[in-house]
Structure 1
Amino acid sequence: MRFRANIENVVIFQRVLQCVEKLQKRCIIKFTEEEMHIICNQESEDGVQVWSQIKKDALFSNYKIQSNAANVISLGLSPDALLQALRSASPSSSSNSSSAVDGGGVGAYASIGASEVVMRLAKKRGQAVLSLEIIFDGGSGNGSGKVVVSHDVLIDVLKPAEMERVKEPMCPEPDIHILLPPLTKLRTVTEHLRQLADVLEVRVGRRGDLRLAVDTDDVTVETLWTKQRRPKKGKSAKEKGKEKEVDKDKSFAVRLSVRAFLKFLSVHVVSSTTIACVCEHHCMILYVYIGDAADVGGVLTFYIPARLTGSEY
């Protein structure tokens, strides 16, 4: 089993991990010949799951993988540990290196960022690790030498039989799709609503209306966006059938944990385009696209289960 790649887009990789580490302490990273998948599927209090796929070329170069499982390698690890390692490669980051070779003075290079970041599978002291080698070019006062910082992230190598039990949530066909407004704006509104209630209703109308609302014994508050785009591509047969009905004012709603929705909204750091799908009274599915619309580098898929009231059972 072998894996090695140069991380070319450290910032995007960091931002994806930033979102993931807010959800769960452990995640699965699956490398294939063409893609990297990050999966958060453990049972949590809010029930939020993430299933992502990112094209290798969006993040890596010199990508090499080999395994007896059809060249697929699956790892269980701490997203926070990997995130901390990647931060050492970013400009202005503080270095908490596990080791430095070819001289010290790593802090002097942190402000300019790494010239190369190599990630590979390794085994050290009998433990499987994802090893990151972060290389800084020599600067003033250091001649033409280089500083190399190494980080080892502990991993569990998952067997194919274990991965066969890892399944995406079973969901009904969506009732409606809508293109969301900028997630930073949604986040600001939701932060205010969290102070009023624990449950949020998201309602989407066929005319492109998006409504966020909370309703308690003491207060009812809602925020409305109108004329949001409703993407035609990818609509389900169920949704197309519903649109043939006469009632163009029809809307579909799902009630979510405010905290769960806020966890999703942390993805604003990577979002370019986000499409939301409502499966009424069941769940909300959100597709966050990485990169430009013309050249999507990958997609993060979030599943947020509905918070049901007695009348919806």
Structure 2
Amino acid sequence: MRFKASIQNITTFTKLTASLNSLGPLAWVKLSEEQVCFTIIPEQGTQVWAVLSIDSIFETISVQSAANNVINLEVPLASLNRALKSAVNATSAQIRLTKKDNLPMLALTIVTTTSSNTYSAFPTGNNDGFDTAFDSNFSGGNRETIVTQEIPVRVLAPDTVAHLHEPACREPDVHIILPPLMQLKSISDRFTKLALADTKTGSTTTSARTRLEIAANMHGCLKMSIRSDAMNISSIWTDLNNPELDPGHVAGGENGIAEHPSTRMKQLGSADGRSDEGWAVVRIDGRDWGKVMSVGRLGGRVIACFCHEHALILYVYLPNDNGEDESVLTYFISSYSA
């Protein structure tokens, strides 16, 4: 079993692991020479299924195993993120699977180069009126430093992960492209803080007080609200984009689109968001939502699929160097009941 790769995008890799670490301490990492998958399945909260193209993180990769050249690892995200942070200014970085005291490790080796050029401000004592034949006032060179950090991991047998699959969800009632995630995070964090500061909720639990209600319609409107006994606050966005469905990705093609829940929702609601009809609503924990929104640091467009009062699925598309979407992070967030 062998895995070795040179990292070409340290910044993206670091931001990705930081975002995932906020949702769970451990990730199932599936390595192959075609793609890299990160999966987080916490006991409670948001599931993440991320499929990354090789060149979004790695420059070269080699994966060899008896299981069709696929390696499954359980990786502590905090340790991996710490190691990657130290490599942000590296001139090169390489990661490989190795063993130490017979325990599997991911070894991250980084190379940094620092300049040791110096300039002498002292006189040379040459008073003969002629310039020196050689510029002795300058001396220099580059110093290369190599550091290896080890992250303990657990190798997972194929049978251990064979039963793990993405959650099955029905067709969404509404799909919409979200505004910038960091903007959403700022507002949702503000709502959550106001709810936590509200002392007039009696015996209401903290989790209930921080539940956000998020809704969208098929006319480009998104609404975020938080309610308690003492307050009712909402923020609404309009003129967002509801992407067209691709007949090639919908069962039944054109006929399937005609019968799709989102097509029926287009007949309801309004573009100004004032109508009470046509909204698909989910209720989620505000603090968990804030953690999900941290993926906004990676950039890319985000399509939100609303299954009314059931679930919210976010598809975060990361562009590659050609501007094409080749990597996607999928977030599954279950809705609380009303």
Q: Is 1:16–1:270's contact at 8 Å kept on the other side of the alignment?
A: yes
Distance 2:107 2:331 in 1: 28
| Secondary structure at the counterpart of residue 248 of structure 1 | coil
| One-letter code aligned to 2:238 | T
TM-score, structure 2 as length reference: 0.80
Matched, 1:268 2:296: yes
Q: Is 2:219–2:266's contact at 8 Å kept on the other side of the alignment?
A: no
Q: Is 2:221–2:238's contact at 8 Å kept on the other side of the alignment?
A: yes
Q: Is 1:39–1:52's contact at 8 Å kept on the other side of the alignment?
A: yes
Shift of 1:153: 0.3
Flag the structure with larger Rg. Answer: 2
Match of 2:127 in 1: none
Q: Deviations over 1:59-116 (max 9, x none)?
A: 11221111111111110011110010011111xxxxxxxxxxxxxxxxxxxxxx2111
Distance 1:283 1:239, change over 3 A: farther
Shift of 1:244: 4.7
Distance 1:239 1:50, change over 3 A: farther
Q: Is 1:3–1:121's contact at 8 Å kept on the other side of the alignment?
A: yes
Aligned positions, number: 285
Matched, 1:288 2:300: no
Distance 1:253 1:180 in 2: 15
Q: Is 2:116–2:143's contact at 8 Å kept on the other side of the alignment?
A: no
Match of 1:104 in 2: none
Q: Is 2:174–2:265's contact at 8 Å kept on the other side of the alignment?
A: no
| One-letter code aligned to 2:159 | A
Q: Is 1:176–1:239's contact at 8 Å kept on the other side of the alignment?
A: no
Match of 1:247 in 2: 267
Match of 1:209 in 2: 221
Shift of 1:271: 2.5
Shift of 1:263: 1.3
Distance 1:89 1:218 in 2: 48
Shift of 1:247: 2.7
Q: Is 2:245–2:257's contact at 8 Å kept on the other side of the alignment?
A: no
Match of 1:83 in 2: 81
Distance 1:124 1:236 in 2: 49
Distance 1:20 1:199, change over 3 A: same
Shift of 1:192: 1.4
| Secondary structure at the counterpart of residue 165 of structure 1 | coil
| One-letter code aligned to 2:101 | R
Distance 1:49 1:245 in 2: 27
> What pairs up with 1:44-83 in 2 under 5 angstroms?
44=44, 47-83=45-81
Q: Deviations over 1:205-256 (max 9, x none)?
A: 1211100011222111110101110011457567752325773312211111
Distance 1:192 1:176 in 2: 26
Match of 1:147 in 2: 145
Distance 2:2 2:56 in 1: 21
| Secondary structure at the counterpart of residue 214 of structure 1 | strand
Q: Is 1:174–1:239's contact at 8 Å kept on the other side of the alignment?
A: no
Distance 1:18 1:240 in 2: 41
Q: Is 1:173–1:236's contact at 8 Å kept on the other side of the alignment?
A: no
| One-letter code aligned to 1:301 | T
Q: What is the RMSD computed on CA atoms of the aligned residues? A: 1.9
Aligned structure 1 segments of 4 or more residues deviating by more than 3 angstroms: 141-145, 233-240
Distance 1:138 1:184, change over 3 A: closer
Give the gaps of 5 or more residues in structure 1. 91-112
Shift of 1:21: 0.6
Matched, 1:165 2:141: no
TM-score, structure 1 as length reference: 0.86
% identical equivalent positions: 30
Give the gaps of 5 or more residues in structure 2. 118-139, 196-208, 270-277
Q: Is 2:218–2:266's contact at 8 Å kept on the other side of the alignment?
A: no
Distance 1:240 1:251 in 2: 19
